Structure formats: C-alpha cells, structure tokens
C-alpha cells in the first residue's frame, strides 16, 4: 500500500459552501493564549471524585433534626448557585464553539463545567444523606420544616427567573461583560469556600470545601486570564455595562455569601427571618458558616479585590451601600441583567 499512488480523477474541484456563522463548524484548534492551555492541563491532573469523600463519616444521628434541616437548607441555597454551574458553563461552552473562540477557552469552559458538576454532586450527596427527598420532594410537618420548604421554593423561583435572563444574555453580551460576571462569581465562590473550609469542624465538609475552593480559585484564574485579553479593547458602553454587572453580581451572590439585599430578590416578607433561623441551625451544626459580620468582612475584601482589578482597566466600581463601599450609583437592575454563575 505504501508505494502505491492513487490518482485523483480529473475534472477540478467545487468549493464547499461557506458555513454560515455562528456555527461550531468548520473545525479548528487555534491557540492564542498558552497560559490557558497550561491551566487546562492542570485542571485535568487535579480532577477529584466527590464519591470518594469520606461519606461514612457524615452520620445523620450525629446531628439534631433542626441541625440536619439547617444543613440541608444551606446546601439547597448553595445549589441555587453551584448546581446551576454545569448548565451555565455548558451553554457558555457551546457559545464559545459557535463563536470560534480559541481552543483553550473552549476547553477551560468545559473544565469548569466538569468541576461544577462535582460541586453540585456534593450538594446532592449531602442532602441525600441528611434529608432524603430534599430540597423539595418531602412533606414538611413542623413550623420550622414548613419554613425551610417554603423558603427553598421561593429561592428556586428566583433562580428560575435568572436562568431565563441568562439564556437571552449569553448571546447578547460580549465576552468581557459575560466574563466580568463569571469573575465576580468565582471571586465570591473562592472567598466563600476558603472561609468555610477554615470554619467547619466536620472532616467531610472540611475536605469538600477545600477541594471546591481550589477549583473555584482555578476558575477565577481562567476568568482573569481571559479578561486580560479582552479588557484592553473595551468601549465606554461596555465599561458602563460592566459596572452594572458588578452590582448585579453583588445582589445575586449575597444570598449565599451574606444576606440578600432589599428590593431585588422576589421574596415574601418572612423569608429573611426564617432564613436566619435555618442558617443558625446549620452554623450550630459545625458546617462552617461564618457570622454575619465575618461574612460582611470577607465579602468586602473580595469586592475590594474585584475593584482593584477592574479599575486598572478604567471600569468604575458600583456603589455597594450595604457594605459601605462607595462608587457609581446603579439602581436599575432587573432579572435579565443577572448572569447566574458560581
Ligand atoms: Fe462551583
Ligand atoms: Fe466556579
């Protein structure tokens, strides 16, 4: 076979029609940013399996009923963010293919999708172990249980609003806008899990939070690397939109990092009071939830880091009066502006 030459029939070639874009075809693998290649390689080497956490050490009988409910509640709140991760990044991955982003951008998105699937599995497994049927498929009996069940329903009602918004936003927003939101989410996530890994007294949660925190830091690194490519070409319009996105990110992420700010989340008036009670049971259980003031301090530090990053690129930071942070007033946020990501 090796020495046999086959002849192409004569008659010329018809050029293939050009593929209308956006489209995942034609296939290609161009690389502009070596650093993203390196991060992707690293992400493959550090993959972990949530099933291998020492689950036998998480025993329902080690907690009171209220504590178990509190932990289930916290993981249900976390799931509003972390369990949206796979779908959010899977869609972003498809988007990156359709827009022919460089190959390592697509691969890094894929790796975030992979990691987020592990994070949501942690929510799933913890809830299955401590509160079978949770978050919502169980019959609440006591007042506390009814409060938890009802709050979770309201929370997911809001999550659903943001998902609808994201589906339209992902095609509408340019990469820098989308990525600023991702970057806020990853900054928040790495801050949260670092705090909780040091606060928890339970070995299963300790290992879980440490591993998730490490993933989130890598996600942050991916976002920062992509943004450093994108930010130099910003227009003033985009800068303004990013300022707004930063405020939207604060509003959205505060639900898990701290407490939801007034006036945006669509919640019944009793939500926050019940939320606080459930959170305090989870805190008592040794989950590692920091105090209100410690959470505020961590959130403030994370915001200061984001601020330092974006101001280098001439992007104004929004005012966050809830944390005594001054800046540009941004008050007109609607669900369409929220890019739900963690
Ligand atoms: Fe995550
Ligand atoms: Fe993440």
- Tens digit of pLDDT for each residue in 291-304? 999 999 999 999 99
SS3 assignment, position 320: strand
CB-count exposure of residue 105 (10 Å: 0-12, 13-18, 19+): buried
**Are the C-beta atoms of 285 and 70 separated by less than 8 Å?**
yes
The DSSP code sequence of 108-160 is HHHHHHHHHHHHHHHHHHHHHHHSTTTTTSS---SHHHHHHHHHHHHHHHHHH
First and final C-alpha spacing in the chain: 55
For the CA of 116, the nearest ligand: 1
Cis peptide bond prior to 210, omega within 30° of 0: no
Is the confidence at residue 338, as pLDDT, over 80? no
- Ligand 2 centroid–CA 307 distance in Å is 19
Which residues are registered as beta bridge partners of 325? 320
Other CB atoms within 10 Å distance of the CB of residue 174: 15
Average pLDDT, the chain: 93
- Ligand 2 centroid–CA 284 distance in Å is 27
Could you give the domains of the chain? 36-337 (1.10.620.20)
Is the confidence at residue 332, as pLDDT, over 80? no
Q: Which of 151, 156, 148, 135 shows the shortest CA–CA distance to 269?
A: 151
Phi and psi at residue 216, in whole multiples of 5°? -65, -35
For the CA of 109, the nearest ligand: 2
pLDDT interval class at 181 (50, 70, 90) = confident
Residue with tokens 């300790």: 206
**Are the C-beta atoms of 227 and 260 separated by less than 8 Å?**
no
Distance of CA 81 to the CA centre of its chain: 6
Is the confidence at residue 62, as pLDDT, over 70? yes
For the CA of 80, the nearest ligand: 1
Q: What local confidence, expressed as pLDDT, does residue 65 receive?
A: 98
Q: What local confidence, expressed as pLDDT, does residue 298 receive?
A: 93
The three-point CA angle 162-167-169 to 5° equals: 85
pLDDT (tens digit per residue) in 251-272: 989 999 999 988 789 999 999 9
CA distance 206 to 287: 9
Q: Which of 301, 165, 306 shows the shortest CA–CA distance to 227?
A: 306
Return the higher-pLDDT residue of 229 and 202: 202
The whole-number average pLDDT for the span 103-115 is 96
Enumerate the H helices of the chain as residue ranges. Answer: 34-45, 65-82, 85-98, 103-130, 143-172, 175-199, 203-230, 236-257, 271-284, 292-311
pLDDT interval class at 202 (50, 70, 90) = very high
- Ligand 1 centroid–CA 285 distance in Å is 22
Percent of the chain whose pLDDT exceeds 90: 81
- Ligand 1 centroid–CA 270 distance in Å is 29
Q: What local confidence, expressed as pLDDT, does residue 178 receive?
A: 85
- Ligand 2 centroid–CA 302 distance in Å is 15
Using CA atoms, how far residue 38 sits from 35, 78, 265, in Å, is: 5, 30, 39
SS3 assignment, position 256: helix
CA distance 314 to 231: 9
Is the confidence at residue 3, as pLDDT, over 80? no
Q: Of the segments 11-15, 37-41, 178-182, 253-257, which one has the largest average pLDDT value?
A: 37-41
Is the confidence at residue 165, as pLDDT, over 70? yes
For the CA of 84, the nearest ligand: 1
- Ligand 1 centroid–CA 294 distance in Å is 21
Q: What local confidence, expressed as pLDDT, does residue 335 receive?
A: 66
- Ligand 1 centroid–CA 96 distance in Å is 20
The whole-number average pLDDT for the span 2-6 is 82
DSSP state of 167: H
Q: What local confidence, expressed as pLDDT, does residue 293 receive?
A: 95
- Ligand 2 centroid–CA 188 distance in Å is 9
Is the confidence at residue 2, as pLDDT, over 80? no
CA dihedral 39, 341, 295, 322 (to 10 degrees): 130
For the CA of 219, the nearest ligand: 2
Is the confidence at residue 334, as pLDDT, over 80? no
**Are the C-beta atoms of 120 and 83 separated by less than 8 Å?**
yes
CA distance 28 to 102: 9
């Amino acid at each position: 076979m090796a020495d046999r030459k086959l002849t192409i029939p004569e008659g010329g070639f018809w050029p293939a029609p050009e593929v209308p874009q956006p489209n995942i075809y034609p296939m290609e693998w161009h690389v502009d940013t070596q650093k993203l290649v390196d991060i992707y390689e690293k992400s493959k080497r550090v993959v972990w399996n949530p099933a291998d956490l020492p689950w036998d050490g998480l025993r329902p009988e080690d907690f009171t009923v209220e504590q178990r409910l509190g932990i289930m509640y916290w993981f249900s709140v976390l799931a509003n963010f972390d369990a949206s991760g796979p779908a959010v990044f899977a869609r972003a991955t498809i988007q990156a293919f359709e827009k022919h982003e460089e190959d390592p951008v697509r691969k890094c998105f894929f790796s975030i999708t992979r990691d987020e699937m592990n994070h949501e599995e942690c929510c799933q497994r913890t809830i299955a172990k401590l509160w079978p049927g949770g978050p919502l498929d169980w019959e609440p009996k006591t007042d506390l249980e009814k409060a938890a069940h009802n709050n979770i329903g309201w929370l997911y009602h809001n999550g659903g609003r943001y998902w609808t918004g994201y589906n339209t936003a992902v095609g509408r927003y340019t990469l820098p806008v989308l990525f600023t939101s991702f970057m806020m989410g990853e900054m928040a996530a790495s801050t949260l899990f670092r705090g909780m890994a040091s606060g928890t007294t339970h070995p299963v949660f300790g290992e879980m939070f440490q591993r998730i925190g490490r993933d989130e830091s890598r996600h942050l690194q991916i976002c920062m690397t992509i943004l450093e490519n994108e930010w130099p070409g910003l227009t003033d319009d985009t800068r303004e939109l990013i300022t707004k996105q930063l405020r939207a990110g604060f509003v959205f992420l505060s639900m898990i990092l701290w407490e939801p700010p007034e006036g945006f989340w669509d919640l019944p008036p009793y939500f926050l009071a019940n939320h606080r009670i459930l959170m305090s049971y989870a805190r008592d259980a040794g989950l590692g939830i920091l105090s209100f003031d410690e959470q505020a301090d961590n959130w403030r530090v994370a915001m200061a880091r984001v601020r330092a990053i974006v101001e280098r690129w001439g992007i104004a930071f929004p005012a966050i009066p809830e944390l005594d942070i001054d800046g540009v007033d941004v008050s007109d946020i609607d669900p369409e502006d929220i890019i739900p990501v963690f």
